[in-house]
């Protein structure tokens, strides 16, 4: 219910000792003291203890929104309330302050369900103040991932300096395809919104940037901006950063030379235009960098780089409660039919296995259930041949078939937001597909090869743009590929086929190339993972791991090995996580291989999750199932 008249009078008139008048923002609300005590811990404490308000008939509430108070009193009288989406956060804040527990819980659920880019920063700030950590984490997750969109909204320019620093200094902030330069441009935009009041905060904001991700040329371009050139302290800092980066040789660039040139030219043109408009040419002056500034420079370059906190995830299965009871009974039974059930295992009985995303915690060496893929269980039987991937805080499901050979396809593109915790049908597949390869490049998800109608091996490629929600047209691969290892290497797709060919797709040119590669492995690869300038290939049939340097020729070389042949693998922060199964003792095996070490050795962990009925592979071990890193803030 939206805010209305000056007084609240509903139901039976309240008289005598039970009557109480609450005043907020100059408006009076008459209600029942008894009902307030039943609905609110705040008023229960006020009227039940020796507070001075206990004997009063009129109580003035400070810093309470009158419209929200009216909605709360409606709940006191009727047991229900109606609130518009625009008022839900204010009502949550008021309900939390006045300790209306049931209203607060309902508001929390509505805030989570309606979480969006437009409101996530405000939700984060409010819920952090209220101590609602779960909602605050969900809102912050959405805010740090959607920075490229949020920084262009009016709400961004309205942030107070402490709120802005808290936001852009977050180590999990995702700057987007333009990298850290986009964060700098957002800072400039925030300052230019009110240059007189905001310019003094430049130095504080510069300390929020990840200068390890900026090139020497980027820093040089920053010096051309008027807000910098007129601030001697800022000039000293940036020139000190230039000097030390050159000495250390820590130049890092995430873009092609062509892209860097475009960014550099744009910065120069913007600076020239600004200086021309103000008629204030940059003065030539000698800048001396003092020792304190150099110490600051060193501490900036020694800080950890931005890195979104990710956890390795794998799609596995858990037995339904009925299947668990039946399996337990079979183990302790002399009945031949029940023994047969235990031998064949319920994994082949697709309807008794529920697909689940599990995450692995490297600190505790424990697997944790993240999400039940309930949308794959809505057909006549559970879907098979689908692929799951993540992009930031979102989880996507593509393709699959409910009954092989019966044409019952999963054509929906499902997305689950780990922030708002809800499923959405975003689109539908342009063509049915199962057992396809999947790869994420920036904001685009590529589906390659696999099987289509009538079990025909595909050469087609479908690309889903998650920003626009539209499918992009892509040329087919040079030939049909039912199974291969695909990865994203510096913005281009690389497909390693069973025939020892490397197919490379260049999205900007929309062209494919095909070259033969030399490899000691003749059985093909299960998965391809990238880290820095190398691609790591997982053997299809053995524990071996190979390395391919795209800029160093066409030869694949041996790199290291696991102890157990991997079934599912993914890369997180330079570490390969392998999820497999030991048939001898029926245990799950998780191994890690650090590719940043000079002499990599796999570390092995075993876990027995039989009590939870957990499986980490499907019936077919010949394919890489869905395994991916997932953004997860603590």
Is pLDDT above 80 for 1? no
Is pLDDT above 50 for 349? no
SS (H, E, C) 86-119: CCHHHHHHHHHHCCCHHHHHHHHHHHHHCCCCCC
| Dihedral angle of Cα 509, 511, 512, 515, to the nearest 10 degrees | -70
The residue-averaged pLDDT of 478-484 equals 92
Strand pairing category for 401-403 and 408-409: antiparallel
Give the count of beta carbons closer than 10 Å to the beta carbon of residue 471.
17
C-alpha 190/C-alpha 427 separation (Å) is 36
The highest-confidence range among 123-127, 266-270, 586-590, by mean pLDDT, is 123-127
Is pLDDT above 80 for 583? no
Q: Give me the chain's average pLDDT, please.
A: 85
Q: Grade residue 180 by pLDDT with cuts at 50, 70 and 90.
A: very high
Closest CA to 438 of 404, 396, 490, 480: 396
Is pLDDT above 50 for 300? yes
Tell me whether residue 62 is exposed, middle or buried, using C-beta atoms within 10 angstroms of its C-beta: 0 to 12, 13 to 18, 19 or more. exposed
Higher pLDDT, 3 or 629: 629
**Lowest-pLDDT range of 237-246, 267-276, 316-325, 429-438:** 267-276
pLDDT at 406: 77
Is pLDDT above 80 for 8? no
pLDDT at 51: 79
Closest CA to 315 of 378, 389, 419: 389
pLDDT at 632: 94
Give the burial string for 510-521 (b: 16+ CB within 10 Å, else e).
eebeeeeeebeb
Query: Are residues 542 and 533 in contact, defined by beta-carbon separation less than 8 angstroms?
Result: no
C-alpha 255/C-alpha 491 separation (Å) is 9
The three-class DSSP label of residue 527 is strand
Residues making up the chain, counted from first to last: 634
| Dihedral angle of Cα 578, 583, 586, 592, to the nearest 10 degrees | -20
Give the CATH H-level superfamily of domain 1-114.
Answer: Potassium Channel Kv1.1; Chain A (3.30.710.10)
Is pLDDT above 50 for 330? no
C-alpha 223/C-alpha 264 separation (Å) is 12
C-alpha 130/C-alpha 128 separation (Å) is 5
Higher pLDDT, 570 or 351: 570
Residue 371 structure tokens: 């999400």
C-alpha 331/C-alpha 339 separation (Å) is 7
**DSSP designation for 252:** -
C-alpha 353/C-alpha 435 separation (Å) is 19
- The pLDDT tens digits for 539-556 are 998 999 999 999 988 999
Share of the chain above pLDDT 70, in %: 83
Q: Grade residue 378 by pLDDT with cuts at 50, 70 and 90.
A: confident
Phi/psi of residue 466, nearest 5 degrees:
-70, -20
Is pLDDT above 70 for 287? no
C-alpha 142/C-alpha 302 separation (Å) is 28
pLDDT at 264: 52
C-alpha 616/C-alpha 618 separation (Å) is 7
Is pLDDT above 60 for 274? no
**Lowest-pLDDT range of 256-270, 317-331, 347-361, 425-439:** 256-270
| Residue labelled with tokens 């935009």 | 189
C-alpha 385/C-alpha 35 separation (Å) is 56
Phi/psi of residue 563, nearest 5 degrees:
-95, -25
Q: Grade residue 603 by pLDDT with cuts at 50, 70 and 90.
A: confident
The residue-averaged pLDDT of 165-193 equals 96
- The pLDDT tens digits for 444-469 are 999 999 999 989 999 999 999 999 99
Residue 350 structure tokens: 């697709």
pTM of the model: 0.83
C-alpha 428/C-alpha 449 separation (Å) is 17
Give the CATH H-level superfamily of domain 314-631.
Answer: Kelch-type beta propeller (2.120.10.80)
Residue 464 structure tokens: 């889903």
Query: Are residues 352 and 319 in contact, defined by beta-carbon separation less than 8 angstroms?
Result: yes
Who's near 345: CB < 8 A, 6+ residues apart?
Answer: none
Higher pLDDT, 5 or 180: 180
The three-class DSSP label of residue 153 is coil
The residue-averaged pLDDT of 280-308 equals 76
C-alpha 507/C-alpha 513 separation (Å) is 12
pLDDT at 571: 97
Residue-range domain boundaries for the chain: 1-114, 146-308, 314-631
> If residue 264 lies in a helix (H) or strand (E), which one and from where to where?
helix 257-278
Who's near 153: CB < 8 A, 6+ residues apart?
Answer: 117, 118
Share of the chain above pLDDT 90, in %: 67
| Residue labelled with tokens 């589906």 | 447
Higher pLDDT, 341 or 434: 434
pLDDT at 269: 60
**DSSP designation for 610:** G
- The pLDDT tens digits for 59-114 are 999 999 999 999 999 999 988 888 888 899 999 999 999 999 999 999 999 999 99
Is pLDDT above 50 for 255? no
C-alpha 146/C-alpha 119 separation (Å) is 12
Cα-Cα end-to-end distance for the chain? 35
pLDDT at 248: 84
Greatest alpha-carbon span in the chain? 95
The three-class DSSP label of residue 159 is coil
> If residue 313 lies in a helix (H) or strand (E), which one and from where to where?
strand 310-319
Is pLDDT above 90 for 159? yes
pLDDT at 616: 57
**DSSP designation for 365:** T
Higher pLDDT, 255 or 522: 522
Q: Grade residue 611 by pLDDT with cuts at 50, 70 and 90.
A: very low
pLDDT at 356: 94
Computed on alpha carbons and rounded to an integer, the radius of gyration of the chain in Å comes to 30
pLDDT at 293: 86
Query: Are residues 152 and 178 in contact, defined by beta-carbon separation less than 8 angstroms?
Result: no
The three-class DSSP label of residue 401 is strand
Is pLDDT above 60 for 342? no
Residue 608 structure tokens: 């027995």
Is pLDDT above 50 for 337? no
Q: Is the dihedral of CA 72, 77, 79, 84 positive or negative?
A: negative
The three-class DSSP label of residue 148 is helix
pLDDT at 407: 81
């Amino acid at each position: 219910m939206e805010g209305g008249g000056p007084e609240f009078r509903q139901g039976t008139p309240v008289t005598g000792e039970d009557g109480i008048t609450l005043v907020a923002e100059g408006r009076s609300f008459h209600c029942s003291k008894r009902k307030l005590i039943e609905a609110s811990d705040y008023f229960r404490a006020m009227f039940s203890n020796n507070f001075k308000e206990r004997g009063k008939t009129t109580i003035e509430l400070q810093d309470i929104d009158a419209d929200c108070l009216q909605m709360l009193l409606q709940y006191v009288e009727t047991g229900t309330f109606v609130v518009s989406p625009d008022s839900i956060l204010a009502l949550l804040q008021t309900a939390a302050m006045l300790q209306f527990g049931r209203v607060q819980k309902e508001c929390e659920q509505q805030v989570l369900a309606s979480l969006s880019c437009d409101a996530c920063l405000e939700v984060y700030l409010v819920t952090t103040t209220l101590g609602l950590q779960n909602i605050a984490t969900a809102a912050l997750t959405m805010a740090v991932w959607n920075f490229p969109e949020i920084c262009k909204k009016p709400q961004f320019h309205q942030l107070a300096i402490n709120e802005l620093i808290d936001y852009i200094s977050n180590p999990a902030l995702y700057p987007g395809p333009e990298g850290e330069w986009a964060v700098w441009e957002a800072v400039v935009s925030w300052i230019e919104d009110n240059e007189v009041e905001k310019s003094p905060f430049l130095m504080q904001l510069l300390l929020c940037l990840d200068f390890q991700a900026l090139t020497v040329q980027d820093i040089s371009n920053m010096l051309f901006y008027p807000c910098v050139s007129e601030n001697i302290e800022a000039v000293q800092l940036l020139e000190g950063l230039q000097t030390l980066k050159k000495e250390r040789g820590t130049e890092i660039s995430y873009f092609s030379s062509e892209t860097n040139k475009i960014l550099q030219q744009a910065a120069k043109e913007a600076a020239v235009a600004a200086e021309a408009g103000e008629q204030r040419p940059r003065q030539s002056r000698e800048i001396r960098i003092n020792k304190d500034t150099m110490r600051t420079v060193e501490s900036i370059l020694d800080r950890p780089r931005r890195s979104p906190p990710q956890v390795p995830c794998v799609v596995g299965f858990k037995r339904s409660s009925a299947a668990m009871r039946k399996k337990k009974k079979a183990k302790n039974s002399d009945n031949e039919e029940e023994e047969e059930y235990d031998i064949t295992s319920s994994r082949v009985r697709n309807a008794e296995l529920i697909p689940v995303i599990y995450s692995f915690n490297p600190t505790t060496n424990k697997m944790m259930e993240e999400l039940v893929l309930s949308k794959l269980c809505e057909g006549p039987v559970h879907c098979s041949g689908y692929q799951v991937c993540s992009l930031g805080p979102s989880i996507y499901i593509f393709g699959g078939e409910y009954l092989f050979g019966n044409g019952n396809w999963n054509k929906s593109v499902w997305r689950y937001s780990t922030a708002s915790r809800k499923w959405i049908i975003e689109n539908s597949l342009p063509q049915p597909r199962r057992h396809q390869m999947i790869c994420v490049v920036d904001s685009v998800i590529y589906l390659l090869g696999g099987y289509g109608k009538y079990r025909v091996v595909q050469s087609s490629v479908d690309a889903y743009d998650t920003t626009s929600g539209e499918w992009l047209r892509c040329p087919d691969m040079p030939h049909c590929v039912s199974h291969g290892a695909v990865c994203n290497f510096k913005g281009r797709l690389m497909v390693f086929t069973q025939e020892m060919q490397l197919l490379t797709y260049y999205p900007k040119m929309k062209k494919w190339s095909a070259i033969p590669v030399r490899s000691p492995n003749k059985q093909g690869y299960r998965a391809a993972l990238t880290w820095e300038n190398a691609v790591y290939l997982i053997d299809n049939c053995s524990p071996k791991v190979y390395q391919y340097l795209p800029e160093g020729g066409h030869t694949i070389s041996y790199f290291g090995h696991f102890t157990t042949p991997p079934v599912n693998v993914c890369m997180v922060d330079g570490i390969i996580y392998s999820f497999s199964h030991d048939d001898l003792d029926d245990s799950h095996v998780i191994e890690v291989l650090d590719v940043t070490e000079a002499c990599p050795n796999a570390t092995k962990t075993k876990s027995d999750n039989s009590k939870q009925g957990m499986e980490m592979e499907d019936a077919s071990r010949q394919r890489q199932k869905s395994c991916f890193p997932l953004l997860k803030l603590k």
